[in-house]
Structures are given as C-alpha cells and as structure tokens.
Structure 1
Amino acid sequence: MKVRRHKLFLFCSVGISVVSLLYCYKSLQQVPFLQDDQSSLKSLFMFTDVFWGAPQTSSLHNTHNHHRAEQILRQVKHDGKESKVENLVGSDSTDLDGELHKKTYVLEEDLTPYFLHTDTGELCFSEGTRTVKQSNASESEDAKSKLELHKKNNTILVGHTVKERKVVKCVCHQGWHGPNCGVPTVVEHSNLPTKTSLKPRKVPRRIINAININHEFDLLHVRFRELADTVDLFMICESNFTAYGDPKPLTFRHLLLNGTFDYIKHKILYIFLDHFPQGGRANGWIADDYLRTFLTKNGLLRVQNLRQDDVFILDDADEIPFRDGILFLKLYNGWTEPFGIHMRKSLYGFFWKQFGTLDVISGCTVAMLLMVYKGDGILLRRREYFNMPGFRQYENKSGRRLMPWSIGSPVHYAGWHCSWCFKPEGIYYKLIAAQNGDFPRWGDFAEKRKLDYIRELIRTGGWFDDSLPRYPPTDPKEPMFAPKYLLDNYDRYRYLLENPYAKR
C-alpha cells in the first residue's frame, strides 16, 4: 500500500512539474528581454526541442522545427527594426546626408526555408511544388482525384513476405522542373551543359546585383520589385557627370533620401562616382568602361562577409532579369560559369518588340570575379575570359571545367531589355547625355532632339536614321510581355505598355 502511495505521489509531482515548466515557458515567451536578446531566444528553442524530443522532419505543409528559431529571430529583427543592414543604411535623412557613399554593407545569411521535407524525407522546393505523389500497392489509379496523382504499385520482398512501401515524390507547378521542383523553365530549356548534376544547396548563396543609374528610375522600381525577395544586395552607382562629361544632379541620391525607395533601401549600397575619367570626353568608350569598373571595385571594397560562392550580376539599368532564373542561381549547385541571360528586346516601350534576344555575359561567382576578372566588371561583360591570365588557375583550383551558358533561350526569355523606354523628355535627355563614342551620336543633331520628332519615332517604332519601321506591334497577352510589377500597376506605367501615340 505504501509503495502504491509513493508511486501516486511521485506521479503527481512529475505532472505538477511538467505543468509548471510549460507555464513558465509560455510566460517567458512574453518577456520583452527575449525579444531583444537573439542568442537567448535561439538557445531557448534549441533547449526546448532537445528536452521534448522534437522531430527533425515535417510534412510538406509544415516548417522544419530547426527553422523555427531562425524564423522568429527574423521576425523580431523586422518588427524591432534592429537589422544590421538597416543600421548601416540608416533611416534618417540627416544621418545619411553627406555620408551615404561611405557606408559599408554586411551581407547576412538568407534564412528563408526554400525547401521543405515531406514525411518520408523527400526534399521539395515549396514554391515550385503543387503536392506530393504517393505510390501505394493497395491503391489503384484514381483519375478523378483532385490532386491528379498517378499511383503505381511498388512493393519489396522481405524474406517470404511482401511489404508495402510508399514512394513520395514532388509534383511540380507549371514552370518548375526537376526532382525537387526547383529548376525553372528558363533553366530547364537553357543550354546549361550540367543539368544532370544540379543539387539543392543547404545554405543559399547571396546575390549581388550591380547597376549604373542615370535617369532610368521607373525601370529601377521595376527591377527592385522583380528581384526584391531574391537579390541580397543592390549596388547602385550614380555620378554627378553624364556619360558625355557634363555635370548633372544626383537625382537617385535625392530620391533615396526623401523616402522614394524606402521599401528596398535596406538592400541598397549607394556608390558615388565624383569624377569624370581622363580622356572620356574624346573617347566615349573610356567613360563607358570606367563606369562599370568603378562600380565593381568601389562596391566590393565596401561589402563585408563576402563568400567565394556568392553570385555577382552586372546589368545595365534597362536590363531586368527574370526573378526565377536568379533564384535558381541562389539555391542550386552544379551550374557552371560565367553565365548570360537571354532577354526579350523592346524599343521605346514593351509595345515594340525587337527581333531576337539580348544575350550578354552578366554574372559569375565572386571567386571568378576576383581571380579571373580581377574585380573589374567591364571585363565580365566581355567574352574573352579564357584569354585572361587567371582563367586556367581558377579552373584548376575549382576542379571543374568552366563553360559559359545562358539562362533562358531565344524562345524562353529570362528577362527584359527595354531600350530607350522613356517618355519623349526622357529620350531627349538620353540623347544629350550619351557618351561620345557610339556613333552616330544622334544627340549632336538638332532635328533629332525635337520632341515632335521623338513622338513620331515612338508612334511608328522607327529609328533615328529614318529607316522604315520593321517591328510588329506586340500582343500584351503573350508570355513575358512585360515584368509583373508593370502589369499589376498598368495605369501608372501605361506609357510603357501601350503606344501613347498610336491611332485608336
């Protein structure tokens, strides 16, 4: 009898202790100091998972337990505005004034759980996966199933008995491919020679997108909206000189300080080119090359926590990559370098589509940028890397053959190149600001600068040499007509989506 009483007492004591611990845990979650002390919060969740024996896998619709602390930490940083990046960039215009071009930037890890495990351990890219497919020996094919899953018999022999085994696979959304549903169509239908070697990464790469800006501010908004959740750092270079060498205002800096780009400011590193290169006025290509050289070298010196396998992409302001292709570079191993991007070509607006695609070498890893291109972005844009002194050294060090390839194809666009896509006043400014090397320099001809003449070019799709227009009107319903942000804000950007001077 006494033994039973002791057991009952012990059982009650344990129960009370468990309830008390749970109550304390719930209370601790509400204590403000935990919201400030990130390491304490992470330690608390690690301790709790170990104590309660939390499982290490979850279904497709549940997040991994080992990501819980990371997600909450990200939320705390967001809600409390305590991100290192935000502190570096700042939110007060007074603090930024005069110091914006001196700020450094710390690249942080991307903790987003892009891939999720199924109950059986299958790894699926959450965005590209519709559901999972199960093969079961006891079920026949169900054509009327809402999930439209094809179920096949799959059995294994153990001794003299037959046991049932379920095989779970990722079922991809349209536009996504591969066993993990993480390869977008623009990669699946590209000339990438190593498609069979692609593997998801455990830790995402960081993406750096570098651009020189003049007055392409609408296209800059489109770029930011298209790539905001994929690119980790935008390096934006602005000069107080045009490409021709004339003084100009720092408009982007003003917009950055007045709050126009607050939605993306925490990902921007502002680079200020305060001089015009010697000889750039006589030879415009000197000025054109120098812009990219300065952008890359000045920017990389101010970025901290770089890794060799991070990705560097150099674009012109009117070249906007498709988000899915860039996300692939972030999440997968197995692709080679350098890489280009097949972009849909448009003139004056997306309503005039030019033939072919713009395919230029646009990116590589930071390791290749530094070892082969010596940190000079203009060398990246050229196709002569195999003649550069560091090429063989880098190829031997990396242990793989370097083979250029391009995201997308001539029929699967992986971005947009919208040339001269401004209102007439913007085209006029581009004419007079153009570098002195790409002849004929149409801004030197007074009749070409007249706004009525420019409006007629936009209306007909003509060119400054007065040649006959040869571009057919574009159907706005065709795939990859324009970036999604433009289509979602049609009225605001109507001048880029509909020919404003066409006869109705």
Structure 2
Amino acid sequence: MGRSHLAVRMRMRRHKVFLLCVLGICVVSFLHYYKALHSIPLLQELSSPSNLKTLKMFSDIFWNGPAADSHSQQDFHRHSRLKGNVDSNVILPGPPDRKLHERTFILHDDHTPLFIHTESGAVCFKEGTDLTASASQRRLLHKEINPEDEEVNADKKVVRCPCRQGWHGPHCGIPTIVYHSNLPSKSKVTPRKVPRRVINAININHEFDLLHARFHELADAVDVFLICESNFTAYGDSRPLLFRQMILNGTFNYIQHKILYIFLDHFPNGGRMDGWIADDYLRTYLTKNGMSRLKGLKADDVFVINDADEIPARDGILFLKLFDGWTEPVGIHMRKSLYGFYWRQFGTLNVLSACTAAMLFKVYKGDGIFLRRRTYYSMSGFREYENSTGRILIPWAIGSPVHYGGWHCSWCFKPEGIHYKLISAQNGDFPRWGDYNEKRKISYIKDLIRTGGWFDGSIPEYPPTDPKEHMYAPKYFMDNYKKYHYLLENPYAREKPVSNEQLKNFK
C-alpha cells in the first residue's frame, strides 16, 4: 500500500515537472516572438495598458477559478459592453476616462481604386480623366516611343489618358497647381500601387471656422489630423480647452475619426519673456507628441505641418499621396488675404510645409519647426539622407505666384476674434499690438476691417477681387456663403469711417 502511494506521488511529480517545462518553453517562445513582432499593430494593441489589464483579469480567472477577484470580473464585463459598440475602424474622441490626449492612432493603407485601366493599356486617374472622350480622341493620344529611350522596345507605345480640364500628364493625375509648379521631375512621376498616408499637423487656438474649411478641403486626402491645443495662450495666459469641448459635444463628428487630439499642458520656460521660444515650442511639441502616438507609420508617408490660418488645396496634397517621383522638402504657394478673402494681398506666401516621414526623422530630428525653416541643407543628417535616397533633393513648391496651392487668411475673424488674437499673441513679434489699449477697441478693429488697414495706421493697396474668381476661397466657405459671409464680403464696407476725433478718443 505504501509503495503504491509512493509511486503515485512520483508520477504526479514527473507530470508537474513536465508541465512546468512546457510552460517555460511557451513563455520563452512568446517573449522571443513578442520582441520580433512588436511593430505589428495587433500586438501593440495587446500590449497597451488597458489590454494588459484585461489579460490579467483572464489570468486571474484561469488560475484562481470562480473565486477570482469580483471587482476584476465586473471591470472586464463593463469593458466588454463598452467595446461591443465600437467600430474597429473608427477612432472615437476618447475612452470612458475622457483622456483624448492619450489615444493612439493606427494608420491603415487605403485600397480604394482611384485609377482605372483602359482597354488600350492606359492607367488613368479616374477623377482627372474624361471618361466620355470618343475613341477617335483617345487614338490621337497614343504616342510613339523613341527607340533610343532606355529599357523601351522600339514598337512600344505610350497611351495617354484623355484629361479633364485642370488635370495633366499621361495619367491625368497631375493637377494644374503641380503642372505649373517648379517641380523638376513632374514629367517622370508615376502612380503608386498603394497611396501614401498623409499626416497633417496643426496648432489651434480659436481658428475654428478655418479648421472646418481645412477638414472639408482635405477630408479625402489626409489620413490623420494632429491637432494640438494648450491650456495656455502663446502669451502664457490660461485659456479654456475649447477645441476639446467641441470634439466631445459632437461639433466635429463628421471628421473625428481622423483627429488625434494633442494636449499641451505646460508653458515653456522663458516663453513669456521671449515669445519665439513659445512659438517654436508649440510646433516641436505638436510634432514629437503626435508622431509618437501614430502606429504603423511608413518611411514614405507624408508629413504636412501648417499654421491654423494656412489651408493647403486638396489637389496638391492628393498628388503627394498618389504619385512617386517628386522630391522634397515641399513648399506651398498660398493666396494671401487679410481679415477676409476680399482683401487679397499681392504675391503668395510660400512656406516649406511637407516632407516624407523619413526626412522628418533623419534630417529634421522629428521636429516640425525645422521643416518650416529653410536651413535643411546645413543640418547634420541631410547629406547622409540625400545619399540614401539615390537622388538630389531639390525643394519645390505646390502652386506658383499665379496658380495658388492653398490659402493663407491672416487675422480672419470677426472683430471679437481679432481682439482675442491680439491679447493671445506671443511676446516676441513686435510691436505687440495687443499691448495698446486703443488697438483692442472693437470699433477700431471694425474700421481696420472696413479699410483693410494695419495696426500701424497704414492702408496698403490691394488688387481687385471677385468672389467668382478661381481659388477665391476654400470650397467649403463658398458652398456655405451665407454662413461665412463675413469672410467672403467686407461686412463693414458701407459703414462710415472712424473720424479723427473718434481716433483721439481711442487714445
């Protein structure tokens, strides 16, 4: 009896040792593959704090049985109910704890068929192609290839697509604002099989009407909008998180699945004394925080950074998304306006605004403020990065002084909004007009809007404008003319000017 009992105990011990060995092998294998596959979105999702907590709940239940911690089971069931109503393709504005600024965003490839293959062998961008062109017109577009061209058979032909007005190139995918740009390689660009993902980064204060226009203009070209809001103004005063409130109350429901909210909860040291420190830091924090929360980023994805009053035209950004062969960094020629689109200024504002993710990190050190500057060629990583691409990197700009690649609408608010911008402005761009009581008077601001004058008393000359002119304003504003009338027509054009006596009263 004793020997039998001893044999049973030894067999149980051997089974336990065997099970422990198997478990150890499983753990070691899991850790090995976890490290190798850490970049896979599913594994990253599993490794998030919330899911690790859920896995711990499962573990507790498995090892401790029905007597496991009741609070853990309740939390798990509550979490399951919440997850049950979530579309996995949509990034909601925030989890139950309302921490929008801690969410991550997973970038996905877009496989929507934007190009068509014709019977004659052409690859045509659907939007830019005239699908009603007759067979005779299409035959005229066949072009014989020069036999001396490299890697081309002598009997091969290039079939050009029949383009709609405003679109150019053999694939009808080059918009006018790129066709008339200074891009040196525009004749050599080719369609991508899978579009790039586009990241658009913006700091926001109270430019909410312009933000609506941006979202509607770029909705199908941009994959994620990185929007940074702070509880401090650029001057260092506290401010409410208005944009966050608007996300939560549903104002941006139509685009919230593409918004990654970034919260800057501190003001940089020295920013109150030197406003340029604060101005630069806003873009630095926006880029570093936002890009660190993107999952699945690829080296050739496009990063675009703008001020809130700079709105790129959709066609130019779509071109960067759909085609290979363009160089970097990329600027944008923007139509310049003051107070509203009716006061158009001469020339364009050309700001370096875009580059690939690879250039952002290898040359600009992951900091968007360096992209905005024009000293990329002197940065330590530029030559190494240029050599790695196998081509000469030549900056170019979407658009031209004649063909606008976007809109820059400076101080484009109602009078109350201009007043708020005056007192929020950073302490460095002198003269800081918000420091002058008379400049903050609403009646004075209305007269500036009426005349197109500036705070220094000057009244520049403006070229004539007409709301019917091409690229007058973003399409969203034009489609909602009545609602945004204050930006499209001078609301004070018929009012009497402020008299000299009234100006004295301001002082």
Do the structures match in fold with TM over 0.5? Answer: yes
Deviations 1:221-269 (A, max 9, x none): 0000000011000000000000000000000000000000000000000
TM-score when normalising by structure 2: 0.76
Shift of 1:473: 4.2
Give the alignment of 1:126-275 within 5 angstroms. Answer: 126-131=126-131, 151=140, 169-275=160-266
Q: What letter corresponds to residue 216 of structure 2 in structure 1?
A: R
Equivalent position SS for 2:272: coil
Give the alignment of 1:247-326 within 5 angstroms. Answer: 247-326=238-317
Equivalent position SS for 1:260: coil
Q: Which residue of 436, 440, 453 maps to 2:431?
A: 440
**Is the aligned partner of 1:471 residue 2:466?**
no
Deviations 1:455-478 (A, max 9, x none): 000000000000133224421111
Q: Which runs of 4+ in 1 moved over 4 A?
A: 80-83, 132-135, 148-155, 165-168
Deviations 1:159-213 (A, max 9, x none): xxxxxx9985410000000000000000100000111221111110000000000
Consecutive unaligned residues of structure 1, counting only runs of 5 or more, are 1-79, 136-140, 142-147, 156-164
Shift of 1:281: 0.1
Greater mean alpha carbon deviation, residues 424-433 or residues 111-120: 111-120
**Is the aligned partner of 1:84 residue 2:93?**
no
Shift of 1:112: 1.3
Counterpart Cα distance in 2 of 1:85 and 1:210? 21
Counterpart Cα distance in 2 of 1:441 and 1:387? 32
Counterpart Cα distance in 2 of 1:96 and 1:446? 44
- Give the conservation status (yes or no) of the 8 Å contact 1:342–1:415: yes
Partner of residue 390, structure 2: 399
Change over 3 Å in CA distance of 1:449–1:119 after alignment to 2: same
Shift of 1:98: 3.3
Shift of 1:100: 0.4
Change over 3 Å in CA distance of 1:153–1:213 after alignment to 2: closer
Change over 3 Å in CA distance of 1:447–1:404 after alignment to 2: same
Counterpart Cα distance in 2 of 1:486 and 1:369? 32
Q: What letter corresponds to residue 107 of structure 2 in structure 1?
A: L
Shift of 1:83: 4.6
Q: What letter corresponds to residue 122 of structure 1 in structure 2?
A: A
Deviations 1:382-404 (A, max 9, x none): 00000000001101111111110
Q: What letter corresponds to residue 394 of structure 1 in structure 2?
A: Y
Q: What letter corresponds to residue 406 of structure 1 in structure 2?
A: A
Counterpart Cα distance in 2 of 1:461 and 1:438? 20
- Give the conservation status (yes or no) of the 8 Å contact 2:167–2:174: yes
Shift of 1:301: 0.6
**Is the aligned partner of 1:390 residue 2:377?**
no
- Give the conservation status (yes or no) of the 8 Å contact 1:134–1:166: no
Partner of residue 81, structure 2: none
Partner of residue 499, structure 1: 490
Q: What letter corresponds to residue 369 of structure 1 in structure 2?
A: L
- Give the conservation status (yes or no) of the 8 Å contact 1:132–1:170: no
Partner of residue 322, structure 2: 331
Please give the root-mean-square deviation of Cα atoms over the aligned residues, in Å. Answer: 2.1
Identity %: 68
Shift of 1:378: 0.2
Partner of residue 367, structure 2: 376
Q: What letter corresponds to residue 84 of structure 1 in structure 2?
A: S
Q: What letter corresponds to residue 128 of structure 1 in structure 2?
A: G
TM-score when normalising by structure 1: 0.77
Counterpart Cα distance in 2 of 1:469 and 1:151? 50
Partner of residue 103, structure 1: 103
Shift of 1:132: 7.2
Shift of 1:503: 1.6
Shift of 1:134: 7.0
